[in-house]
């Protein structure tokens, strides 16, 4: 039985600094925007602390599952309860009664 090699770039997760791309860049952009808007040393240090702490937690999430943040974002959109229905025409049948 022959086996086909799959290139690493097709299945390797897209990580930046060890975390998922979107959350780590967002975590870097927020303190940068606040620091540039205030130009204070306190804001610079608090922004740096926020970015380091957020990066630590995002890297820990990516170590557990490289797509955990995307999974969590998708689960937020789910409803808490989905009522059981018999078929796709359920609403149309009940409107006629």
Number of domains in the chain: 1
> What is 72-83 written as a DSSP string?
HHHHHTS-S---
Domain assignment of residue 80, yes or no: no
Over residues 7-38, the pLDDT tens digits come to 888 888 888 999 999 999 999 999 999 888 88
pLDDT at site 53: 96
Per-residue pLDDT, 1? 67
Q: What would the pLDDT profile of 33-64 be if each residue is shown by its tens digit? A: 988 888 889 999 999 999 999 999 999 999 99
- Please count the other Cβ atoms lying within 10 Å of the Cβ belonging to residue 30: 14
CA separation, residue 60 to residues 33, 40, 55, 69, 88 (Å): 25, 30, 8, 11, 42
Would you say residue 33 lies in a domain?
A: yes
Q: 47 and 27 in contact (C-beta within 8 Å)?
A: no
Higher-pLDDT residue of 46 and 95 is 46
Structural domain contains residue 43: yes
Domain containing residue 28: 20-65
With contact defined as beta carbons under 8 Å apart, do 72 and 87 qualify? no
In a domain, 91, yes or no: no
């Amino acid at each position: 039985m022959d086996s086909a090699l799959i290139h690493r770039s097709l299945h390797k997760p897209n990580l930046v600094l060890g975390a998922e791309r979107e959350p780590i860049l967002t975590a870097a952009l927020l303190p940068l925007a606040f620091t540039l808007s205030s130009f204070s040393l306190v804001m610079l240090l608090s922004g740096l602390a926020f970015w380091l702490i957020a990066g630590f937690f995002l890297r820990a999430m990516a170590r557990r599952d490289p797509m955990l943040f995307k999974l969590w974002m998708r689960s937020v959109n789910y409803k808490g309860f989905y009522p059981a229905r018999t078929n796709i025409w359920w609403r149309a049948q009940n409107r006629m009664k």
